[in-house]
Amino acid sequence: MKTNKIFISGDEAAAYGVKLCRPHVIAAYPITPQTITVERLSEMVEKGEMDGEYMHVESEHSAISVCMGASSVGARTFTASSSQGLLYMAEGLHYASGGRYPIVMMNANRSVALPWSIYGDHRDSLSLLDCGWIQVYVEDAQEALDMMIQAYRIAEHKDVLTPMMVNLDGFILTHTYELVEIPDQQKVDEFLPAFVTPNKMSFEEPKNLAFSSKPDDNTEFKYQQNQAVLKSIDVIKEVDQEFEATFGRKYHDMVEEYRCEDAEVVLVAIGSVCGTVRVVVDKLREEGMKVGLLKIRFMRPFPEQEVKDLAKRVKAIGVIDKDISFGYEGTVYTNVNSAISKVENYVYKSNFIGGLGGRDITKAEIEDMFHKLYAGLDKSREEKVEFFSLNVETNE
Amino acid sequence: MTATTEINKIINEDNLVYKKTNLLLDNEMHYCPGCTHGVIHKVIAEVIDEMDIQNETIGVSPVGCSVLAYNYIDIDWQEAAHGRAPALATATSRLMPEKYVFTYQGDGDLASIGCAEIIHACNRGENIVVFFVNNAIYGMTGGQMAPTTLEGQVTATTPYGRNTALNGHTMKITEMIALLPGTRYVTRQSAETPAAVRKLKKAVRKAFENTTEKKGLSFIEIVGTCSSGWKLTPTQSNEWMKENMFPFYQLGTLKDE
């Protein structure tokens, strides 16, 4: 099969993915490390390679509002942001999900001030888990491109109609280069039909959109919204299968298990660090340790069933969090733990918090995590939430 | 006589004609060659030093290249969220009315995302000084179009030049601000020649002196360069600024009450 592979950054891969989806409107405000995506898209629009319109806005808050305005008349829309910009959008994110506008967004994961930092971690998007958006975390540039195409299929599905955020690690993915296959436009057109929604302003079916509610019906709106996000689990699986049949690549739906078949000890992670964990898993496997990786792809909806299935088979689960919910634990850990608590067998658990503000998570550190999980099995280590590789006195 | 003793003869207090102000720290600046921030920092530091108000001055830095201004001018600083410096400065100035409070903002920070905050701080007539550095581009993120980008100007997000029909008109925010009754002193300056720097310094001094009289907000726009964002050498940048920016952003004082 003839393939069209080019050497591009993660940001550019996202832009190519978006272009193939033929959005009508793109509205974004530049923020490091998302900028290259919006620069490429504005270039494609100005060169006439895309039919859509690129709107320069004065802030992220306006960007999301433009996207809602466009979606409310039936236009396919895209925006991109990161960190402070994503947080500045937060009000609009809830509006968009509550309004059931299937906007697709690329978020370049970056730390949150203060201290101000342009480098990566997951504190931006994980602090917005409850904003009603579907959230996927990718591991490389190809997955970033492919998920843009899948995202529109998932978000625009008639039973879902929910916006979706494709997260890629700032700098680690956005600014590094990979050989990425650019799918054929015709195939994408066949895979992704034109956006059709009942949820739009129309003279044929006059209606109000984005209205107020009272205590007697607000819960019902939120119930239906929750049902739609839960329903997306089936759609995500359907779309990934069809994607594989069309493009020959699959992403294993909600999660990807790596060498977990007979694993005793498993590390759970999201995003690009999964690539490093794979390498460590291979090394420790060669040394005879039964270790594996669970790559969580979707944080919302959450892969509860997949985590439970794993928890029934393994003895220890460690969770890497590039975030901290202050006063408690890592957010990925909280979610994983909630699922594990629903199985009957005992699983030793630990939360490893680090990689904040762009600090690298090394193979040696990951290897150490696996050893700590083994130590938990022979009871020489308690279950705990720990910040790893700290350079300050902890007095713990 | 050896060369060393010759030099030592020259280097002595009596021959001193110019000295870097102590307020300007020795940290290596991260600004690109040809960037105007360095000169503006120097002028502000000199005025604070000359007025002997180092211990009474609080700076609020923006989001943008000059977010790191606290590494260079030796006064107390704080950071605000993108565009919110005037709101933060309002509170600091009202709670510490005897202090000299200023914001230092770029055109992305002030004219775009923070447009609401600056308009309202000016309209309330807060007793602060605002330094607005305008280089017609989003510098830190790599040269994308800003509201201040000139018509036809090529940027990373307008590769064929700014088209006002699609991208809106170039914004003269300083002229808008001069209309607000809360502003007392509104001026547009530059820093590309020694003469311009001297004029800028006078304006900076006047703005800080206005603070003591508590008669409203002083606003200084400085038209500057962004060689990296404009993809020009430092010399070409100055030329480009003079040819293109000065005719549109005319230098001079718009208001002095």
For residue B1, name the pLDDT band (cuts at 50, 70, 90): low
CB distance A84–B82 less than 8 Å?
yes
pLDDT digits (tens, 9 = 90+) for B53-84: 999 999 999 999 999 999 999 999 999 999 99
CA-CA distance, A366 to A352, in Å (whole number)?
9
Q: Does B18 touch chain A (CB under 8 A)?
A: no
Mutate to test the interface with A, among B141, B149, B158 (most CBs of A within 10 A): B141
| CATH class of the domain whose range is B27-256 | alpha beta
Residue range of the domain that includes A313: 255-387
Counting the structural domains of chain A, the total is 2
Same domain assignment for residues A166 and A43: yes
Q: Which of B79, B147, B168 sits opposite A114 (nearest CB)?
A: B79
Q: Which residue has the higher pLDDT, B13 or A291?
A: A291
B145 touches chain A (CB under 8 A): yes
Residue A393 inside a domain? The answer is no
d(CA A118, CA A121): 10
CB B8 within 8 A of CB B36: no
| Chain B nearest-CA residue for A60 | B113
**A175 and A316 co-located in one domain:** no
Answer yes or no: do A335 and A190 share one domain.
Answer: no
Q: Within this chain, do residues A230 and A260 fall inside the same structural domain, yes or no?
A: no
pLDDT tier, B171 (very low <50, low <70, confident <90, very high otherwise): very high
In angstroms, the Cα distances linking A227 to A149, A163, A194, A215, A254 are 23, 14, 24, 19, 17
Last residue of a domain, one of A230, A247, A264: A247
Which of B112, B145, B159 comes nearest A43 by C-beta? B159
d(CA A54, CA A28): 8
Give yes or no: residues A136 and A204 share one domain: yes
Which ranges of chain A have pLDDT less than 50? Answer: none
Residues of A in Cβ contact (< 8 Å) with B159: 42-43, 46-47
Nearest Cα of chain A lies from the Cα of B25 at a distance, in angstroms, of 21
Query: Between A29, A39, A85, which is nearest B156 by CB?
Result: A39
For B157, the closest of A32, A38, A88 (CB atoms) is A38
The confidence score (pLDDT) of residue A1 equals 55
Asked if A25 and A162 sit in the same domain, the reply is yes
Amino acid at the residue B250 = Q
Residue A394 falls within a domain, yes or no? no
Same domain, yes or no, for A281 and A169? no
Strand partners, B155: B158
pLDDT of residue A134: 98
Residues in chain A: 396
Task: For chain B, give every domain's residue range.
Answer: 27-256
* CB atoms B81 and A59 under 8 Å: no
**In which band, very low, low, confident or very high, does the pLDDT at B4 lie, cut at 50, 70 and 90?**
confident
Phi (first) and psi of residue B134, to 5 degrees: -110, 110
Which of A35, A43, A53 has its CB closest to that of B141? A35
Q: Do the domain assignments include residue A32? A: yes
| Residue A190 and residue A310 share a domain | no
Q: Is residue A395 part of a domain?
A: no
Question: With a threshold of 0.90, does the pTM exceed it?
Answer: yes
pLDDT average, residue stretch B171-188 = 97
Contact B179, B171 (CB under 8 A): no
Number of CB atoms found within 10 A of residue A208's CB: 7
Distance separating alpha carbons of residues A254 and A354, to the nearest angstrom: 24
> What's the whole-number average pLDDT of chain B?
95
Position A392 in a domain? no
Contact A56 B115 (CB under 8 A): no
**Do B145 and A56 make contact, defined as CB atoms within 8 angstroms?**
yes
Interface residue B167 vs chain A (CB under 8 A): yes
User: Distance between CA A279 and CA A110 in Å, rounded?
Assistant: 24
d(CA B223, CA A249): 52
Domain boundary among A247, A275, A298: A247
Residues A232 and A316 in one domain: no
Together in a domain, A270 and A236: no
pLDDT of B39 reads: 97
* A157 shares a domain with A301: no
Provide the CATH number for the domain around residue A64. Answer: 3.40.50.970
Of A247, A282, A316, the residue at which a domain comes to its end is A247
